[in-house]
Amino acid sequence: MPEMPGDPIVILTDPAMLAHNPGPGHPERPARLQAILDALDRNPISGVCRATPSRATREQIQRIHDSEYVNLIDSLRGKHAQLDPDTAVSPSSVDAAYLAAGAAINAVDALLSPLPLGEGSGVRAETLPPLREGARGCVDHPNSKSAARPSPPLPLGEGSGVRVTAPDKSPNSSSTLPEQIRRAFALVRPPGHHAETREAMGFCLFNNIAIAAAHAIAHHHLQRILIVDWDVHHGNGTQHSFYDRADVLFFSSHQHRLFPNTGDLDQIGHGPGEGFTINAPLPPGFDDAAYLHLYQRLLIPIADAYKPQLVLVSAGFDAHRDDPLANMMLTETGFAHLCALVRDIADRHADGRLALILEGGYHLNALANSVLACLRMLAGQEPPEVADSVDARHNQIIDRICDLHARHWQVIQSQSKP
C-alpha cells in the first residue's frame, strides 16, 4: 500500500535510458536503473509522479561542454565506441545522454516555474489512475476510490515535450495535479559529474547537474545555487565547471585517493570563486554518524550563510557499505539523514526547491533501497535515529576539514575545536 500523503515529488526518467549499455560486466549497467524502478513499483510513495523528460538541446549542453566535444559525442550516435578505459557507448547511448541532461534541466524547470513542471516548459499532463503495484503515474492517497478514466493530454506550456502522469481527477479522487512542485528526482543514466568540458570520463558523457545549474542561471536568472555531491567519487567535472565562480557553491564529500584522485582539501576555488568549492576528502570507513556530523558542522553553517536559491544534489549511492567500488560505511539510514539535511536547507533558503540527480551506486539492492529512503525524505518523512557517537579519529579529520574551510567561512570558526 502507498504511504500516507506527503509533499509532491516529480521523478523524471525514461526507459530509453536503459538502452545505454557500456558492455558486459560494466558496473554502470542498465540493471541499476531497472532495480530502482522495480523498487518504486513494489514500494509506492504517496505524492510521487513520474514524468518523461525531454532531450536537452545543444545550446543547453554547450553552456558546459565545448562545441567540438559535443560534435564528437553526436558522431557516436548509433555506434559502439570506447572513450576511455572506463567509459563506453553503445548505439543508444548518445540519445540516453541527451535525455539524462534533459531530465536534470526539466527538474530545475519543475521547481522554478509557477505551474507543475513549468509555465512555458512544454509539459503536457495526462490523467491516469492512482499508482498501484506494477503501474505508472502519481501515487494517490491510499483511501482514493477513483477508477481509471484517462482524459486527453492537457497542455501546460510550450516547447519541451515532457509528459507527466497524474492521478485521476474524478470527483471521488483525493489527489489532483499539484500546483507547486518543490522536490524532484532525476533518475538518469549515464551519470554525469565526472564529465569535463572537453572529455568523457568515469562512465559520464554530459555533466547533467552542471548543465542543470547553468540552465537555472541562464534561463531562471538565479544568483546562488548550492550543489551537494555525496557520491563516493569526487565530482571533478562539476568542480571544474564552476571553479572560478561564486554563483554556484560546490560541496563534495568523497573517499580520498579514490578515482578520479581530485577533490583535495586545498582545492577551494579560484579568483571570484575562491572559497566556493568545499571539498571534504574522507578516509575509508566513514559511517552514518561520521557523515552526519560532518554535514552538520560544515555544510549547514556554510549553506545558511550562502542562502542558496536552489539546491541540487549529485545523488550517488556508492558510499554505501555494500557498494563494490568503494570502502565507506553509509547505510540507507545515513543517506536518509543526508537527504533530510539538504531538504531542510532548501526549506530554509530556497522555498523548498530541491532536486536530486542520480550519479553512482553499483550494488543493486543498496542503490534501490537508498533511493527509496531519499524519496521518503523528499515526501516529508523524518529519518530513523542513528548513533550519535563518532569515532575519535573521524572527529579529528572533521576538525581538520572544518578548520581549513573556516578561513573563508567564519560561520564555522566557532564550530571548530582549538
Phi, psi for residue 231 in degrees, rounded to 5: -55, 145
C-alpha 64/C-alpha 69 separation (Å) is 11
As given in the structure block, the three cell numbers for residue 403 are 578548520
DSSP state of 201: B
Q: Residue 150, SS3?
A: coil
Of 414, 394, 413, the C-alpha closest to 294 is 394
Of 273, 281, 286, 227, the C-alpha closest to 257 is 281
C-alpha 116/C-alpha 296 separation (Å) is 32
Q: How many CB atoms lie under 10 A from the CB of residue 74?
A: 12
Peptide bond into 190 cis (omega under 30): yes
Q: Which residues are catalytic?
A: 194
Kindly report the CA angle at 201 between 236 and 230, in degrees rounded to 5? 40
Residue 243 and residue 269 in contact, taking contact as beta carbons nearer than 8 Å: yes
End-to-end CA distance of the chain, in Å?
52
Of 103, 153, 108, 147, the C-alpha closest to 129 is 147
Per-residue CA distances from 405 to 47, 158, 224, 350, 397 (Å): 38, 44, 19, 23, 13
